[in-house]
Amino acid sequence: MGAIGPFFTPHDPTRVDLANNLLPPAFFPGGVWTYPLGTDQLGRDMLSRLIGGARVSLLVALVVVLVSGAFGTTIAMLSGYLGGRLDSFLMRLTDAALAFPFLLVAIVLAGIFGPSIQIVILTIALVGWASYARVIRSEVLSLKTRDFVTMASVMGAGPAWIIRRHLLPNVTGSIVVLATLQLGRAIVSEAALSFLGIGVRPPAPSWGGMLSDSQQYLIAAWWLPTLPGLALSLTVLSSNLMGDWLRKLNDPTQRH
């Protein structure tokens, strides 16, 4: 839905129509079918803005998952397979990343460079890689002692070969599960940053920004806070359900 958004939005999500502002959704009294989900305080079409917001959320979340997944897995492989001092250094780094107050860092970065999508992606990814590093590393540690890895190493395979051919295929399942669960969290983080005014810049539509604007119209227009939050929650819910389902598929002992 997000990807094909620009071709399907009924209106331009930033077009202002003050004569028709704060219209309720069409199936409630006072609503019109020109604006199926109503309009906001500036008369902008809610449906178009919701679709535009979906596009931003999914784009940010996908890039975050790709960047932090690739980085976290690399760290996990190096740390878990090579071990030694490198391992303890990288794990301390992971602890630091997990203890990092990402929201504050995001605000500081936005202060330096101004609010932008790139900063949002960078800060979420800055923390996100750590959970991959932790989980995948522990799997690598147990894989490393298995016969087929010892065998390959005895036969003269180098670390790069073993990581690529023997370790990576065996942790793909976990990576997919982690990625699906992270997708939901990344979407919430993006919305939180846009909500605080340090993410996507208005007037470009974003779910967090729409929620932030809606706070002044709680009495006049219930659909302003309700619809973006609903879109956000449903997206995250489906990502969580999918992650949970994949996890059970991946690990038969978890089925209960």
Partner 1 sequence: MVRYVLQRLLQAAIVLVVVVTIVFVLERLSGSPVDLLVSSRATAADITAMSKYLGLEDPIYVQYGRYLLRLAQGDFGESFSYRAPVRDLIVNAFPYTAALAVAAFIFASVVGVTLGTLAAVRSGGRVDAVVRGFGFIGQSVPSFWLAIIFVMIFAVKLGWLPAFGSGGVDHLILPAVALGAFPMAAISRLTRSATLDALRADHMLFERSKGVSPSVFLSHLLRNASLPVITLSGIQLGELLSGTIIVETIFAWPGVGQLAIQALSTRDYNIVQAVVLVQTATFVLLNLLVDISYGWLDPRVRT
> Which chain residues interact with partner 1 by CB under 8 A?
92, 95-96, 99-105, 107-109, 111-112, 184, 188, 191-192, 195-196, 208, 211, 214-215, 218-219, 222, 225-226, 228-229, 232-234, 236-237, 240-241, 244, 256
Burial status of residue 255 (CB atoms within 10 A of its CB: 0-12, 13-18, 19 or more): exposed
Tokens read off for 102: 């990402």
Residues in the chain, total: 256
CA–CA dist 166, 138 (Å, integer): 15
- How near is the Cβ of 210 to partner 1 at its closest, in Å? 11
Alpha helices, H only, 99-222:
102-113, 117-144, 147-154, 159-162, 168-195, 207-214
- How near is the Cβ of 185 to partner 1 at its closest, in Å? 10
Nearer to partner 1, 17 or 244 (CB): 244
Question: For residue 54, how many other CB atoms are within 10 A of its CB?
Answer: 22
Burial status of residue 44 (CB atoms within 10 A of its CB: 0-12, 13-18, 19 or more): buried
Nearer to partner 1, 48 or 123 (CB): 123
Within 8 A by CB and 6+ apart from 147, the residues are none
Nearer to partner 1, 142 or 215 (CB): 215
CA–CA dist 18, 16 (Å, integer): 6
| Whole-Å CA distances, 219 to 38, 46, 196, 208, 229 | 16, 18, 22, 19, 17
Nearer to partner 1, 34 or 226 (CB): 226
Nearer to partner 1, 149 or 239 (CB): 239
Nearer to partner 1, 34 or 238 (CB): 238
- How near is the Cβ of 93 to partner 1 at its closest, in Å? 8
Nearer to partner 1, 34 or 216 (CB): 216
- How near is the Cβ of 112 to partner 1 at its closest, in Å? 4
- How near is the Cβ of 15 to partner 1 at its closest, in Å? 25
- How near is the Cβ of 94 to partner 1 at its closest, in Å? 10
CA angle (197 as vertex; 193, 203 as ends), nearest 5: 115
CA–CA dist 211, 52 (Å, integer): 14
- How near is the Cβ of 146 to partner 1 at its closest, in Å? 24
Cβ proximity of 55 and 5 under 8 Å = yes
